Chains A and B, each alone.
Chain A
Amino acid sequence: MLGLQDNSIFFAYILSIASALICVLYGILNWNRGADNEADEIRSEQEWENEEEAINETL
């Protein structure tokens, strides 16, 4: 199929494209999920970023 000699290569070819499409689908379905406590998330991320900056300063 598709000019490929072996079915397993055909599956690898199709599955590669299909898995990228699944990634797209996953992103669309979950686009707004996972941001319940945004204020808390931002605060903890801010603390983490401040520490990260301090580490990077020494690099």
Chain B
Amino acid sequence: MLFNIIVVSVYIAVLSYLAYIGYKGTKNTKDYLVGGGQIHPFIMALSYGAAFISTSAIVGFGGFAAFFGMSLLWLTFLTIAVGVLISFVIYGKRTRKIGHNLGAHTFPEFLARRFQSHGIQKFVGLVIFLFMPVYAAAVMIGAAKYFEIALNINYLAALFFTSVIVAMYVFFGGLKGIMYSDAFQGGLMFFSMLFLVIYTYAQLGGIVEAHTRLTGLAALPEVAEQLKAIKMPPVFNGWTAMPEFLSINWLVVVTSIVMGVGIGVLAQPQLAVKFMTVKSNRELNRAVPIGGVFVLMMTGVAFTVGALANVRFFEDTGKLAVVAAGGIDKIIPLYLSTYLPEWFGAIFMIMLIAAGMSTLSSQFHAISTAFGHDLVNVTRKSERQQVLINRLGVLLAFAVTLSLAYYLPKIWSGAIARATAIFFGLCAASFLPMYTGALYSRRISRLAAWIGMSAGFAVSLFWMCFVHSSTATALGICSALLDKASLFDKTCRWSYVDPIIVALTISAITTIILTFTLRQDLDQKHLDQTFNGI
């Protein structure tokens, strides 16, 4: 315990020092842009990666991998191929250029200026303000679950501890995203995960031996009994095999986790704005390798170690990881505090604080700009009123996030991954088709963008409230109105198809058809300005 306190104190001291020299060194933006160009892509990639990968990915999705197995590695593949390569090269470069051409500073403002519609800005701002807290709650739960196990305190105390650190970080300067501390935190995350994977494989006898032991686990009769006891849906093929095609497990893993997050990453408001912070496409090119390796080290390690945790738990206690931990979200924290050296536990704790804070700060930055800049449009008011309105918005969102972080674990096992997937899916269904059109099509009209976005949002919300079993049950709207948990019963496969599959398909088809059939309602001069230099 004393060792933990010393390590955390040293970490906070280093962070404060780096924040100070970073702030001092970059006070003059022009000096930074002209002179400090060398460091920019590295910082951008780490800041993007650290904002994308959080306690949610490591604790939540790592726990999901312990439950469902290494099939989650398809998500690792998508987060690199789609979340870094396609995102930076296909989306990032044009977002940066068009964003600068139109003078946009937030994701809602980007879409609004592209389609010359204040309504779009307010709608997108409202979606972010209302739903981003669900994702922020997922990140908070991840950190709190770790503190619950590592510090041996109850969940409420752990959540309080987490929220105090978050409040300090977010309200006292964390929003500015100081570059040296971002790089330090990213570096810390990288080396902690590198140690974690090497140590885990070494303890289990090497890569092939570790995988073989995990494969062998599924065939044991005691394991079958435990799987039955935890109500694992049939047919479970083991931790090193894909679930049976179109089975309930397959639908959860592929539609919610792999597709929901892997595709959803393209339309994340807090990540898209990062592209507008670099000075040229060269910086984005240089950010690709750093981002790719960083994301592999974060998600690849979390999902592999999560699945392999079953071997350690079973051989030691005779229990599967989820049984030993008493819940999906507790697996990674328990594994780390039981099987890793004590000194690493302290390092990992500050790494998780780093991972959580970098994501939460960009989330609350997105929420507060969505509220103050996009939704309320405070620029028309006095400076004092502006600051007051922004603070009110963040405080409100913070209170909602905290309440969700308290209640969600009570209603869902694996609340972190589910809550993350909801937000990613909703963003993809509502914004991805219009965002893609905004970047690549001169034909897409304001009306086409509006209808496509509304269709994606409406279908997504309907599917969540009335069809998708886990969200419909949690929200309770269907049971209040129709007296049943969801429109289809639990044996129907549609109940497990994630909203993103249906909603994104409908919004994409709607947007494409309307792009080619509706008359262009944006003037030629605006389109020339938008695509100037592309």
Contact = CB atoms under 8 A, between A and B. Distances in A.
12 contacts: A3-B208, A6-B237, A9-B70, A12-B73, A12-B77, A13-B73, A19-B85, A26-B289, A34-B280, A45-B100, A55-B105, A56-B176
Main secondary structure of the interface of A (DSSP, over half): helix
B280 A38 contact: yes
A26 B73 contact: no
Contact of A42 (B240, B279, B281): B279
Residue from the set A8, A13, A25, A56 with the largest chain B CB neighbour count within 10 Å? A13
Interface residues of B, number: 70
Contacts of B30: 46
A34 B282 contact: yes
Nearest to A36: B280
Contact of B73 (A9, A55, A56, A58): A9
Contacts of B296: 16-17, 19-20
Contacts of B85: 19, 22-23, 26
Interface of B: 29-30, 33-34, 69-71, 73-74, 76-77, 80-81, 84-85, 89, 93, 99-100, 103, 105, 175-176, 207-215, 218, 237-238, 240-242, 276-293, 295-296, 300, 365, 368-369, 372-373, 378, 383, 386-387, 390, 394
**Chain A interface residue bracket vs B:** 35 or more
Contacts of A34: 93, 280-285
Given A9-B70, A34-B284, A59-B369, A2 B207 contact: yes
A41 to B, nearest CB: 4
Contacts, number: 163
Given A3-B207, A8-B71, A9-B70, 14 more contacts: A3-B209, A3-B210, A6-B237, A6-B241, A12-B71, A12-B76, A13-B73, A19-B292, A20-B80, A23-B80, A24-B292, A24-B293, A51-B103, A58-B386
Residue from the set A32, A46, A58 with the largest chain B CB neighbour count within 10 Å? A58
Contacts of B218: 5
Contacts of A47: 103
Contact of A4 (B74, B81, B240, B390): B240
B372 A4 contact: no
Contact of A22 (B285, B287, B292, B394): B292
Given A19-B80, A46-B30, A55-B105, A9 B242 contact: yes
B376 to A, nearest CB: 11
Contacts of A42: 33-34, 279
